C-alpha cells in the first residue's frame, strides 16, 4: 500500500510546482481528488486521481459577500443555514464559484428585525464590512410596509420629517402610499424597531416590513429564502 502523503505535496510533485503554489491551487478550489473538490492542503492521499481544474489559478480566492432575501421570522443566527446550494438564486450573475471558506466567519451587517423580511448582507470581506459600518447610515434603504389602522391627521408630513425614535430626531425620509394598506419608505440610518415605532406614532400598525434595497443593491427578482453573491463590480 502506498504511504499516505499530504495533498499539497502530491500536487506539487504532479504539477511540478512549489508547495506554496500547490496550496494556493487547493485553497482556491481548483484541485479535485477522485472527482471531488478538496480545499484543505493537509488532506492525506494515497493513490487517488488528482486533477487540476481547466481554469486553475494561484490567485488568492476573494472574500465573499452574500445577499439574502430573508424570510420573515428568520433570526440572524439562522441566516447561514439558508446558504445551501439548493437556495442559490438561479440567476446569480456574479460568476463566483462557491468555496467552503466562503461560509466561515461571516458578519451580519445592517440587520433587519427578526419579524421583517427582505434584503440582508452577510460578509467576510473587510472592505464591505468597513464601508457598511462607516457609511451605512448615509445609504438610502427602500422598504415596503403593510399597515393597518387609521392614520392620524398630518400622518404623512410627520412620517416624512419630525418624529423622534430612541431620543434622536429622525432624518428626513421619502414616504408615499402605494395602496390603502401599503407604504413605501426611502429612508436612511434605520434602527431596529424604528419603522414599527414610526407607524405607531401616527396611528398605524406595521403588519409586515420588507426591505427591497440598500444603496444601489436591490433584491431584484430573487425569491424569498434564496441568496446570491455580491459581484466584484457591484457597490452599495
pLDDT, position 4:
85
Q: What is the pLDDT, as a whole number, of residue 71?
A: 97
Alpha-helical (H) ranges within 58-216 are 126-135, 155-160, 194-201
Stated as kind and residue range, the H or E segment containing 26 is helix 19-27
Are 198 and 159 in contact by the 8 Å Cβ rule? The answer is yes
| 71's grid cell | 424570510
Rg of the chain over all Cα atoms, to the nearest angstrom: 23
Taken in order of first residue, the domains within the chain and their CATH numbers are: 5-52 (3.10.290.10), 65-136+217-229 (3.30.70.580), 140-214 (3.30.70.1560)
Per-residue pLDDT of the chain (236 residues; tens, 9 = 90+): 578 888 888 888 888 888 888 787 777 777 778 877 877 778 888 888 888 776 666 666 678 999 999 999 999 999 999 999 999 999 999 988 888 888 888 999 999 999 999 999 999 999 999 999 999 999 999 999 999 999 988 899 999 998 999 999 998 999 999 999 999 999 999 999 999 999 999 999 999 999 999 999 999 899 999 999 999 899 99
CA 137 and chain centroid, separation: 18
Q: State CA 74 to chain mean position distance.
A: 14
What the block records as the C-alpha cell of 49 is: 486521481
Amino acid at each position: 500500500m502506498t504511504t499516505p502523503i499530504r495533498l499539497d505535496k502530491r500536487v506539487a510533485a504532479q504539477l511540478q510546482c512549489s508547495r506554496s503554489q500547490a496550496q494556493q491551487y487547493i485553497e482556491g478550489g481548483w484541485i479535485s481528488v477522485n472527482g471531488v473538490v478538496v480545499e484543505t492542503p493537509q488532506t492525506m492521499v494515497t493513490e487517488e486521481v488528482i486533477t487540476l481544474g481547466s481554469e486553475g489559478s494561484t490567485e488568492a480566492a476573494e472574500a465573499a459577500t452574500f445577499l439574502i432575501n430573508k424570510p420573515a421570522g428568520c433570526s440572524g443566527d439562522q441566516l447561514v443555514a439558508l446558504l445551501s446550494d439548493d437556495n442559490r438564486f438561479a440567476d446569480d450573475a456574479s460568476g463566483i464559484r462557491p468555496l467552503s471558506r466562503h461560509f466561515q466567519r461571516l458578519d451580519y451587517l445592517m440587520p433587519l428585525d427578526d419579524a421583517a423580511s427582505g434584503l440582508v448582507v452577510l460578509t467576510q470581506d473587510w472592505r464591505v464590512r468597513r464601508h457598511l459600518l462607516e457609511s451605512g447610515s448615509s445609504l438610502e434603504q427602500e422598504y415596503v410596509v403593510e399597515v393597518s389602522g387609521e392614520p392620524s391627521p398630518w400622518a404623512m408630513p410627520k412620517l416624512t420629517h419630525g418624529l423622534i425614535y430612541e431620543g434622536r430626531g429622525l432624518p428626513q425620509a421619502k414616504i408615499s402610499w402605494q395602496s390603502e394598506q401599503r407604504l413605501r419608505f426611502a429612508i436612511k440610518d434605520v434602527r431596529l424597531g424604528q419603522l414599527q415605532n414610526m407607524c405607531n406614532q401616527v396611528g398605524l400598525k406595521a403588519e409586515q416590513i420588507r426591505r427591497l434595497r440598500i444603496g444601489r443593491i436591490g433584491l431584484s427578482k430573487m425569491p424569498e429564502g434564496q441568496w446570491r453573491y455580491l459581484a466584484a463590480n457591484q457597490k452599495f
